[in-house]
Amino acid sequence: MTKKIAFQGEPGAFSHAAVHALFPHDEALPCVTFEDTIAAVQSGAADRGVVPVENSLYGRITDIYHLLPESGLHITGEHFLRVEMNLLAVPGATMADIKSVQSLSVALGQCRKFISEHHLTTINGGDTAGSAREIAERGDKSVAAIASRLAGEIYGLNLLAPNIEDAAHNTTRFLAISRTAEEPAPSVEKVKTTFVFRVRNVPAALYKAMGGFATNGVNMTKLESYMLDGSFTATQFYADVEGRPTDRSLQLAFEELQFFTDHFHILGVYPAGKI
């Protein structure tokens, strides 16, 4: 049975491409905001969701760090999407026709060299996929969009120039989320566990809380901190480690962590994605 997978953005967005990669046989459900995406999964309007959590150029997606821990949802998978920017134009247009280019400001910023070399005027759009849709609707051969190949396919645009981004390493990490937790099969070798915690207000609490991971040989691949409710004295930490909570080494590390925390919650245990 086909399931619905919620994502933020218009059809053809890079989040839509991540949905295709993670759930190729399911139906993608576009949502306006991250809050709408999470709400769709919570309510059952969608079976799962796919949300971006960090980008190799721009760092973490701050909204997700605040929304996900409070959502009651579980992380069930991850996918690293190579972000490829493409110049898309209406059928019949050539590079000689293009005078301006429209896209999300971040996407335009990632393609500065190409835009400069071709002396193009930039137009800020609401997002990449939305820009592709608007270019298709406008039908103007002098204006192109920068967006995904998927957006070009959806809106009937031609690919004039592929992979025009300045940085070849531009990659976004996406998380799959669900209402229910899903333990990876025993045959899955590489597993990640994601959790959040708040340390107690005692000297060296964070240092001591982290000690258990080092002494038990647990590899921590991410540790992020962020304010809670705009308070300078309330900080929550978001962490990824390799392994399952049922592994003895991680069990011991979590036991030690909880001596120095007043809040600890596992967000998900899932197969590690391939970078």
Q: Identify which of 196, 188, 189 has the alpha carbon closest to the alpha carbon of residue 238.
A: 196
pLDDT in tens, 116-167: 999 999 999 988 999 999 999 999 999 999 999 999 999 999 999 999 999 8
Confidence of residue 198 (pLDDT cuts 50, 70, 90): very high
pLDDT at 74: 98
Specify the pTM: 0.91
Mean pLDDT of the chain: 94
Q: Which residues have a catalytic role annotated?
A: 172, 174
Q: Are 65 and 74 in contact (CB under 8 A)?
A: no
pLDDT at 46: 98
pLDDT at 234: 61
Confidence of residue 168 (pLDDT cuts 50, 70, 90): confident
Question: Tokens standing for 187?
Answer: 């045959």
CA atoms of 99 and 122, how far apart (whole Å): 9
CA atoms of 270 and 181, how far apart (whole Å): 9
pLDDT in tens, 214-272: 999 999 999 998 877 665 656 889 999 999 999 999 999 999 999 999 899 999 999 99
Q: Are 13 and 19 in contact (CB under 8 A)?
A: no
- The structural domains of the chain, ordered by start, are 4-81+170-178 (3.40.190.10), 86-161 (3.40.190.10), 191-271 (3.30.70.260)
CB-count burial class (<10 Å; 0-12, 13-18, 19+) for 168: exposed
Question: Tokens standing for 211?
Answer: 């000690």
Q: Identify which of 188, 183, 202, 174 has the alpha carbon closest to the alpha carbon of residue 266.
A: 183
* Angle between helix 205-215 and 248-259 (nearest 10): 170
Backbone angles phi, psi at 71, to 5 degrees: -80, -20
pLDDT in tens, 81-127: 999 999 999 999 999 999 999 999 889 999 999 999 999 999 999 88
Type of residue at 213: F
Question: Tokens standing for 12?
Answer: 């053809």
pLDDT at 233: 59
Q: What angle do CA 239, 269, 13 make, to 5 degrees?
A: 80
CB-count burial class (<10 Å; 0-12, 13-18, 19+) for 60: middle
Q: Are 6 and 31 in contact (CB under 8 A)?
A: yes
The residue behind tokens 């953005």 is 9
Confidence of residue 205 (pLDDT cuts 50, 70, 90): confident
